[in-house]
Amino acid sequence: MVISGRYLLLENKYYVILTVHDISKERVLKSSLQHSNEKFLCFFDNVTVGCAICDKDGKLVEVNDTYVRYMGTTSKNEAVNQLNIYTNPCINPEFKEIMKAGVPVSEEVKYDYEKINKYYVRSCHKGVHYFRFIVNYMWNAGGEVENILIIWVENTLIHKALRQNNMFREIITYASSISKIGFCSLNLSKSEQLMIPEYLKNLGIKEEIDMPRIFSNLEHAHPDDRKFFLEYIEKADYERMEPLFVL
């Protein structure tokens, strides 16, 4: 309870007016907001991705330790109230326009630390990294953007793995065309396939089709091979099978 009072003079007599205000709900709400804020800050500080909060104009007002590590700066002080997300040279201008419109973003960003060092902030990192750049917003009661929430997820290893996979495919394709040996890889559990044109050519198939269709009929295969393949695929549906290599 909050009790307040004041004197009132009426006809040469003093009266006291007391006001009693029940603030129980306000105290509960304040406590709840404080608890929610503490949980958010705990998550913000300890999550293993880079997080930053910007004001509506893009100036960084808070960052976590992972963000500092990604940036390659020595402390938060070099970023907070010093940097603006809109002046980051590695963020695609198209993404910046989307952000200014208050639309969420989830895209890959090529982070060139040479550009960062030259145009943005001094960083201890070198070379190029790749990040998933995620943006969302905190809105005020009037429906206007009050803060911008930035999340950076390190994607460099995934990006390198995809590049290596593409290189592997190119090498296999070249070797296959020279040797006239077909090659394909089919992951039945994930419905993923890697198929070399020479493989289809050897089967007498002119157009690229889904591998499951090939294995479902095997009309170009020898009857004994067809039976072997179909039995293998049937077993693979319910038990672990050793990889099958066929030339």
Domain boundaries, the chain: 47-154, 171-236
- pLDDT of the residue at 169: 62
| Of the candidate ranges 47-61, 135-149, 159-173, the one whose mean pLDDT is the lowest | 159-173
Distance of alpha carbon 9 from alpha carbon 209, whole angstroms: 96
Range 73-79 average pLDDT: 92
The CATH label, of 3.40.50.9100, 3.30.450.20, 3.40.50.261, 3.40.50.720, for the domain at 47-154 is: 3.30.450.20
Long-range contacts of 20-23 (CB under 8 A, 24+ apart): none
Q: State pLDDT tens for residues 200-239.
A: 676 666 655 655 565 555 666 677 877 787 787 777 777 7
Q: State CA 8 to chain mean position distance.
A: 64
- pLDDT of the residue at 170: 64
Bigger pLDDT: 31 or 97?
Answer: 97
- pLDDT of the residue at 216: 55
Specify the fold of 171-236: Beta-Lactamase (3.30.450)
Distance of alpha carbon 103 from alpha carbon 88, whole angstroms: 18
Token representation of residue 43: 């998550």
CA angle 18, 24, 29 (to 5 degrees): 135
* Closest by Cα among 147, 192, 160, 165 to 44: 147
Q: State pLDDT tens for residues 165-207.
A: 566 566 556 566 666 666 666 665 555 566 666 666 766 666 5
Rg from Cα positions in the chain: 32
H-type alpha helices, 101-196? 113-119, 156-179
- pLDDT of the residue at 77: 93
């072997």: which residue's tokens?
A: 228
- 171-236: same fold as 47-154? yes
Token representation of residue 6: 């004041």
